[in-house]
Structure 1
């Protein structure tokens, strides 16, 4: 049998892990099961990644990069600021509707990572990258259209992603297409209003 290098085996194992855990959940993703999914020895997984946590980290990175790439491809080149934000939000929502298992697996891995010290860095990297890319897209749209942001781009990104994560969880748990569309429109409207300084922030009680 021809030798397969670790560099070649790595994407194969990541895909096998995604396929397996998408079907059966994160708890089923042992190195033995992932190796069996690809039809290789368990030692191959450890040789390629070192530990199960390292493989899980690679899976999170792959899922994140795939989703980000789809949204970035949807970014319009000549639209206004509001239209750009709406287009990007719609593109991201489309990934939820068309690839719900990818979002579910990312959510499951994120919850698993919260209780796994070796995956804390991967979890921070996942949210950090998504936030940074969202902030970059907002900044680029503002600069292209001459739109002065009333709030830092990272704050706008965090606000949008917080609402979007909630909508995604609702779609996976209790879908309602009409309500989801209204909520997504409201979220985009709120982001645009916050970005334009048209949203009055209510003071919170002091603790």
Structure 2
């Protein structure tokens, strides 16, 4: 087996865990099955992760990074602030539509952690990470466009985390893409109403954003 830097090996095992847990469920996924999914020995797993708890935290962080990367790329200044914000929501929603199992896994991880003594902090860490991530995106967009939030950034970040979390779960349960599209537009309008546009909020000639969809 080729030697691999420990950080890269951890990423390999984390991605293998996401695939295995999405397919088999969190309770049915063992360290042995994750090692097999990654094509490494069990000893390699234990070298990279001291416990399943450490692995679960890595999984939560990785899934968040998956969709935040595409949202961050989409949040470039467009014709109007609304188009910019809508593009960010669209990027997130496209990720939900193309990888629903991964998003379903996030809710399973939450319940798994809450139901097991000593793991509740993982669920708290998960939702704190959601808010912190939105806070970072808000600050990045504010620096790029100069908009001014009418509410505290922390409050706006928690609102966005709660809204996207609820919308995602609603879609995973009901499968109503059309209703989700309408809600994305409503959320976008509400967010725009919570900020004052700055002088750099839009760029002439930028492309618009289409309605939400699940292909």
Structure 1 and Structure 2 fold alike (TM over 0.5)? yes
The change in CA–CA distance for 1:179 and 1:33 in structure 2 (over 3 A counts) is same
Stretch moving more, 43-52 or 141-150: 141-150
Structure 2 contact 77–145 (Cα < 8 Å) conserved: no
User: Normalization by structure 1: what TM-score?
Assistant: 0.82
1:51 maps to what in 2?
51
Q: What is the RMSD of the two structures over their aligned residues, measured on CA atoms?
A: 2.3
User: Partners of 1:7 and 1:178 in 2: how far apart?
Assistant: 41
> Does structure 2 conserve the Cα–Cα contact (< 8 Å) formed by 1:159 and 1:191?
no
Structure 1 residues 41-120: aligned runs within 5 Å:
41-116=41-116, 118-120=118-120
Normalising by structure 2, we get a TM-score of: 0.80
SS of the residue 2:148 aligns to: coil
Matches within 5 A, 1:110-189: 110-116=110-116, 118-189=118-189
Shift of 1:78: 4.6
1:27 aligns with 2:22: no
Q: Secondary structure at the match of 1:29?
A: coil
**Structure 2: how far apart are the matches of 1:9 and 1:137?**
28
Structure 2 match to 1:37: 37
Pairs aligned (count)? 196
Deviation at 1:33, TM superposition (A): 1.6
The answer to whether the 8 A contact 1:46-1:52 is kept is: no
* 1:105-149 deviation line (CA, Å, top 9, x unaligned): 112112212234554444333333332232233344345444332
Question: Could you tell me how far apart the structure 1 residues matched to 2:96 and 2:2 are?
Answer: 39
Unaligned runs of 5+ in 1: 197-207
Aligned with 2:27: secondary structure? helix
Q: In the alignment, which residue of structure 1 is the partner of 2:211?
A: none
Task: Report the Cα distance in structure 1 between the residues aligned to 2:159 and 2:177, rounded to whole angstroms.
Answer: 22
Query: What are structure 2's unaligned runs of at least 5 residues?
Result: 197-215
For structure 1, which segment, 29-38 or 121-130, has the greater mean C-alpha deviation from structure 2 after superposition? 121-130
What's the CA shift for 1:20? 0.8
d(CA) in 1 for partners of 2:131, 2:4: 36
Quickly say closer, same or farther: Cα 1:168–1:2, change in 2 above 3 A: closer
Q: Which has the higher helix share?
A: 1
